Structure formats: C-alpha cells, structure tokens
Amino acid sequence: MEEVARRALRRGRARLVAALRVAPLWEALEERGLFTRPMIEELQSAGSRGEQARQLVIDLETRGKQAFPIFLSILRDTGQGDLAEMLVTECESPPAPPQLVELRPVELDVHREKPPKNVNFPERLSVPVQAESERPQRPPAPARGLAGDKRNHDLVYELRADPCGHCLILNNVNFSRDSELSPREGSDVDCEKLEKRFKALRFHVLIRRDLKAQEMVSELQKLARRDHSALDCCVVVILSHGCQTSHIQFPGGIYGTDGKPIPIEKIVNYFTGSHCPSLRGKPKLFFIQACGGEQRDRGFAVDCDSPADEAPGGSLQSDAIPVQTPAGSVDEPDAVAILPTPSDILVSYSTFPGFVSWREPSSGSWYVETLDSVLEQYARSEDLLNMLLRVANAVSAKGRYKQIPGCFNFLRKKFFFTCK
C-alpha cells in the first residue's frame, strides 16, 4: 500500500472506528479479493463492532497496493460514501511537518577535569554491552541489592511475578505433502530443551505442535488477548521452516504445516501496545528458529587459535525454503505489517536474513542448542543481550557452513531472567 494511503487510514482511524458499519462490508471484501473467508472470520471474532472496525483498518494496510481504492469503492457501494470522502480528503492533506527540537548550546569549561554539575547527558536508548568487569554477578532485581540505586534500577525490567509470564512454543515438525517441505527432524529435541529451560526461568510454558498457518495465527492471537496484567513478561518461541518476505522492520516469514507463510512482522504486531494493552511497558521476547532464506554461507578465512567445529556433513539439515507465495497465502507478496508501538520488543533470529539455519536430527538446531546452554550457564548473572552475544559467537564457530544469529532489539532496559 502506498504511504499516502496508509497515512490516510491512520489519520481517519478514529472516525472509522466510531462510525464504520462493518456488517455490510464482509461479503464485498471477500468477493473483491481483499480478504479470504478465514481472515473475515478472524476479523469478526475481534469483539465489538468498534474493535472489528479497528482491526479491519489495521489489516487493510497489509493487503497490497489496490486495497485502498477497492476499500473506497466498497464504502461507497454500501452507503458509507461520507467515510470514503473523508479518506480521500486525508490523502490530499499534506503530511504533518516534523517537529523541531530547539537545541541550546552548553558552555563547557575545557580546563576542568569534570563536566559542570548542571549538564544533563541524555541516556542512550540502547544500553551498550558492559565489559566483563562491570557485569552484575546476580540479576539486579529489587530484592537482590539494586533497590537503593535509582539509576540502575530504572534501567532494568522488574520481574516480580511468579510465574513471570507465559511462554508459547510453536513447534512445526511434519508438513503436508502439498507444501513440499521436509520433516524437521530434531525439532522435538529443541522443543523439549526450551520447555525445560523456560520452566526453570519461571515461565508458564504452553506447547503447540504441527499447526497450519491460520492455526498458528489463532494461537498467537489467543495469547495476545490474554490478561497479562499480573505478569511481567511474555515469550514466543517458533520452530519451523522459514523464508524471506517483504517487511518494514522485522524480516522473514514462518511456514505453517500447510506451507503458507506468516510474516514475522505480523506475529510481533499482535503483541504491541495497541493490540495487547496488558503487556504495555513489559518485555516481549521472540525466539525464531527458522531459515531467513536459502543462501548457504561458507564463511571467509581468518587466523584462528583453534580449528573450526566440524559437524558431520551428512547429518546437517536446513530450515530453508525458496522465496514463494503459494495460492491463498496468509499475506500477499507485497504485504507488510504495521508496528505502531514497537517498544519493549526483542526478536532473536537463529540466522542472518537471507541465509539458512542448520539443524541436526540427533541434537537439534545449532541455535537452540547453544541458546539453551548459554541460558543454563549465564542466566543468573548476565542480561539477555549479553547472552545473545555469546550465542552468536558460539554458533558462528560451528560447522563447514557458517551461521550467525542476531536480534532486532527494541527493549528500553536491560532484561535479566529470574531463575528458580
């Protein structure tokens, strides 16, 4: 969808939510190809008329370039031309100019060893990884010694609830014959490890196995609609085949067992502050074991103190699948998911976008095996970002082919697990 159309939908959302009559739209939306029947049923299950209208407006942005003009036509056909004209007017309105922040010069005395006391240095949004000597030896929860240090306390998420949150693990092992996707041998090993690990980290763990794309969406939405008010965190783990997809912030897509992809952006979007109010301000962690594409990285030569970890060539499997969009897929090729409030989110990928992710039938995937080991050793003393660096470093040293995990970090504070 063009940016001007997205802007019009966002500007007009409040009026659409207040006045849009959704009941006459469903049949036309399906006939004109904007939404499939399962998608319509999903929208109808969103709640009240206003909630259905809000979700419809949000999802329209993911339905391709022709979605906006078709929607305007349907509005006029169903006697809601005033709303169509409102959106047209919003399209013609210029975008709001960026707000300018006045910068005031600060005079510094270069002859002083310390800066003046009245100079306030802004805190960085992303907290840099600390040196080994600076890392806390125990998780800095209030009861563990940091309650009196206001500055440090403000930079750490508090996990007081027990359990501290829900952990949903979606484990796809067997795929339909029509999908042309191979069974993911070793994925059950990954699932068992992570189930035990997150239970030890004080999460309530829920496992769902071999789900079609729409079933995965339903489970994710069900989790997002729960009341998390008494909890401090939420974790989603997805073990499946993956692919490249169009995206804005979060690359990649995850396949259901029917071979239909779900953009990771869409998965994350279910848990943002606008869609899951009870998780506002709370960390939402996503761990993705899937390929980001089908490129195989052979790495490059470097001087090394120790030989590379060679894995048996015949036992390696990947979670790759070529870029494709099967008929009736969850989203169109040019579809994108919006992310209105991406704070307090971290998405950890098993591999770099575009590359395969390796898995062994006997021991599971490189990424999950290493993540589990690092959590076991360091969860009591290090924050999550520091541990993910350890995972990336360890996985990058494995095998004949290379793999490098990474993450998209929108956390505002340091995250320390609280272990049993």
Tell me if residue 291 is catalytic.
yes
**How many whole angstroms separate alpha carbon 15 and alpha carbon 137?**
52
Question: ω into residue 38 within 30 of 0, thus cis?
Answer: no
Tell me if residue 111 is catalytic.
no
Altogether, the residues listed in the chain come to a count of: 420
Whole-angstrom CA distances from 117 to 113, 120, 154, 202, 352 are: 12, 8, 21, 43, 44
**How many whole angstroms separate alpha carbon 241 and alpha carbon 175?**
9
**How many whole angstroms separate alpha carbon 409 and alpha carbon 399?**
27
**How many whole angstroms separate alpha carbon 297 and alpha carbon 399?**
11
CB-CB contact of 222 with 177 (8 Å): no
**How many whole angstroms separate alpha carbon 141 and alpha carbon 180?**
48
Catalytically annotated residue among 241, 243, 247, 276: 241
**How many whole angstroms separate alpha carbon 353 and alpha carbon 252?**
7
Radius of gyration (C-alpha) of the chain in whole angstroms: 24
**Catalytic site residues?**
241, 291
